[in-house]
């Protein structure tokens, strides 16, 4: 058992370890006790003051960081709204960069506060609409696939069901080939061999092998179609495919029905539209909007609205087309899809004009209204009220009246025939005759050289020389700040290349002399163009000049424009040249 040392030994050990130190007397302790307690109280008071100051400073820092975080989110949200006015090809990239930058700022702010960034801090309206559209597109896939399966379309049901979970497989080689076969009524050779054997090939015609263009195709690429005399061959070869003759006849019936089954075609077109659009929205960084909205989607809409045996538009198909177009978030993209089909004539063009007219309001003097009237008059050698009425029933009453009045004022029909025709059309549509009678005020010729007349010249694609001459006459007749501003507004609302060409022509009179008011007018244009108030106009003009520079760097329009801007405002010329990428 260990021995416990006595207290004397403990004292000796403590003195040995700590060293010898004099022991303070009681009197000394009592004398210094007051000073010691006072110093401790002072230290405690200072510590409390520092703690309070630290808390106040931390609150100020947190408040400043939180305010910075929120204000930056509001700023980015405002910018995402403003960039929607940029050219449509740039919106997606700019918005994604703004949101990414805002997320980085939010992460840094949260790290300074030792907190977590709020994922939903910034949700611009365009992104909310995009997310909702993606959800709606995904939800629309399942019903369309079920409809195709219910209609007994000659497509593999398992392959169609896989599109619900993985829509991207629609663009895989297997599905693309199956879709092409469905549209053309063809069957892959390997499927026939697998299901019916080699002996069944006598009932089919090889649609791939061509002695000139494709003499030795791969077996996996060969497509077959039922022979035109399938029934006769089937009767002549009773022993071929003896075990599966009923299945072969059923396949022949399905393929033949799919070629004429309008419901199957409509369902497939709608499914293709939904999957194409969803693919674009999921891959906006790699997919070109020009390809999807100008090349892929317009043929789908054209085939959908023309899936009718009649030459008269079908309102049900138009409503289905409008439901598909409603999935497109951008109005510019919707217009691009509509404007890129029905270019020639016939039912497709009628459908295009109807869809365009249903989507917006137009007046009697609009170029589209004139095109609509010309197209309707060209449908028949002798225009009939029934033909007009059948098309106009698809439009609202106010648009019907505009078309009828435009027809009566167009000059394409003799006056003694136009009025009876307009009244007959109105009677077919149930419109009062008083409301379709041409209004003298509306039909009167616009005063020559007025700003409305100049806008009409621009809208009707008059030459830049004619537009410049009209503006010059107007400014010479009355030259003041209001007239110069109105001339600027007229050109700013037009096509950017019209503005550039008029700007280049304005200083030069027909006799070669310089217009005395040109310098003041061009200086006003240059100042306004580079002002932040007209940032949208500046962006359009610079974008057009950039494209011009890429096509032809020494284009006279580009060189003269920059030279004239430098003549009136060198600073503006330097800014424009820098943004375009050329030397002023």
CB 304 within 8 A of CB 191: no
Average pLDDT of every residue of the chain: 82
Inside any domain, residue 312 = no
Is 144 in the same domain as 249? yes
CB 498 within 8 A of CB 467: yes
pLDDT of residue 139 exceeding 90, the answer is yes
Is 477 in the same domain as 523? yes
Beta strands in 82-197 (DSSP E): 187-188
CA 462/CA 482 separation, integer angstroms: 24
Model confidence band, residue 1 (pLDDT cutoffs 50, 70, 90): very low
Is 145 in the same domain as 63? no
CA 323/CA 301 separation, integer angstroms: 11
pLDDT of residue 168 exceeding 70, the answer is yes
CA angle 223, 227, 229 (to 5 degrees): 175
Stated pTM of the model: 0.59
Name the percent of the chain in helix, strand, coil, to the closest 5: 70, 0, 25
Inside any domain, residue 317 = no
Inside any domain, residue 280 = no
Q: Which residues pair with 226 in a beta bridge?
A: 204
CA 293/CA 209 separation, integer angstroms: 34
**Which among 96, 123, 150 is the end of a domain?**
123
Inside any domain, residue 251 = yes
| Structural domain for 66, as ranges | 41-123
The pLDDT tens digits for 224-241 are: 888 888 888 888 888 888
The pLDDT tens digits for 489-504 are: 888 888 888 899 999 9
CA angle 529, 530, 531 (to 5 degrees): 95
**Which among 89, 123, 157 is the end of a domain?**
123
Burial of 583 (0-12, 13-18, 19+ CB in 10 A): exposed
Is 475 in the same domain as 425? no
Token digits of residue 557? 């329009």
**Which among 264, 286, 301 is the end of a domain?**
264
Inside any domain, residue 69 = yes
Inside any domain, residue 292 = no
User: Which single residue is written with the structure tokens 């809409």?
Assistant: 301
User: Which single residue is written with the structure tokens 């609302």?
Assistant: 493
Nearest Cα neighbor of 175 from 304, 276, 91 is 276
The pLDDT tens digits for 324-379 are: 999 998 888 898 999 998 887 788 899 999 999 998 888 887 888 888 988 998 88
Cα-based torsion angle of the residue sequence 146, 147, 151, 155 in order, rounded to the nearest 10 degrees:
-60
């Amino acid at each position: 058992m260990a021995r416990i040392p006595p207290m004397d030994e403990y004292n000796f050990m403590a003195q040995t370890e700590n060293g010898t130190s004099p022991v303070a007397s009681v009197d000394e302790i009592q004398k210094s006790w007051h000073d010691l307690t006072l110093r401790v109280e002072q230290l405690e008071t200072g510590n409390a003051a520092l703690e309070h100051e630290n808390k106040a400073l931390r609150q100020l820092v947190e408040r400043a960081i939180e305010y910075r975080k929120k204000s930056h989110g509001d700023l980015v949200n405002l910018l995402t709204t403003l960039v929607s006015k940029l050219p449509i090809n740039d919106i997606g990239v700019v918005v994604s960069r703004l949101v990414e930058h805002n997320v980085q700022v939010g992460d840094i702010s949260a790290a300074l506060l030792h907190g977590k960034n709020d994922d939903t801090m910034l949700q611009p309206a365009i992104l909310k609409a995009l997310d909702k559209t993606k959800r709606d597109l995904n939800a629309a896939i399942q019903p369309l696939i079920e409809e195709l399966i219910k209609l007994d379309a000659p497509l593999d049901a398992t392959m169609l069901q896989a599109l619900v979970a993985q829509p991207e497989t629609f663009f895989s080689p297997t599905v693309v080939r199956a879709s092409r076969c469905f549209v053309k009524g063809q069957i892959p050779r390997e499927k026939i061999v697998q299901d019916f054997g080699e002996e069944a090939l006598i009932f089919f015609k090889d649609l791939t092998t061509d002695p000139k263009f494709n003499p030795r195709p791969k077996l996996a690429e060969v497509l077959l179609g039922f022979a035109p005399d399938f029934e006769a061959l089937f009767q002549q070869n009773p022993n071929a495919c003896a075990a599966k003759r009923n299945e072969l006849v059923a396949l022949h019936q399905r393929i033949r029905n799919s070629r004429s089954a309008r419901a199957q075609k409509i369902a497939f077109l709608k499914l293709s539209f939904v999957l194409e659009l969803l693919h674009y929205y999921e891959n906006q960084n790699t997919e070109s909007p020009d390809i999807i909205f100008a090349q892929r989607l317009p043929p789908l809409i054209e085939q959908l609205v023309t899936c009718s045996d009649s030459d008269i538009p079908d309102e049900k198909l138009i409503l289905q087309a409008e439901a598909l177009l409603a999935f497109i978030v951008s109005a510019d993209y919707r217009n691009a899809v509509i404007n890129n089909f029905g270019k020639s004539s016939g039912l497709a063009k009628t459908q295009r004009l109807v869809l365009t007219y249903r989507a917006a309001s137009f007046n009697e003097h609009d170029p589209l209204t004139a095109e609509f009237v010309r197209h309707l008059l060209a449908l028949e050698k002798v225009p009939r009220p029934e033909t007009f009425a059948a098309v106009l029933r698809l439009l609202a009453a106010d648009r019907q009246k505009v078309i009828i009045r435009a027809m009566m004022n167009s000059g394409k029909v003799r006056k003694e025939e136009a009025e009876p025709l307009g009244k007959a059309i109105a009677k077919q549509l149930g419109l009062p005759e008083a409301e379709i009678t041409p209004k003298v005020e509306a039909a009167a010729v616009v005063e020559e050289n007025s700003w409305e007349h100049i806008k009409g010249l621009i809208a009707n694609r008059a030459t830049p020389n004619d537009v410049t001459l009209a503006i010059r006459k107007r400014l010479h007749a009355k030259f003041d700040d209001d007239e110069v501003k109105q001339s600027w507004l007229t050109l700013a609302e037009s096509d950017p290349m019209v503005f550039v060409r008029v700007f280049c022509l304005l200083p030069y009179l027909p006799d070669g002399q310089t217009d005395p008011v040109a310098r003041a007018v061009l200086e006003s244009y240059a100042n306004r163009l580079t002002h932040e108030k007209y940032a949208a106009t500046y962006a359009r003009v610079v974008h057009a000049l950039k494209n011009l520079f890429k096509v032809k760097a020494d284009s006279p329009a580009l060189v003269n424009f920059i030279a004239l801007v430098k003549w009136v405002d060198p600073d503006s010329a330097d800014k424009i040249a820098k943004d375009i990428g050329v030397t002023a």
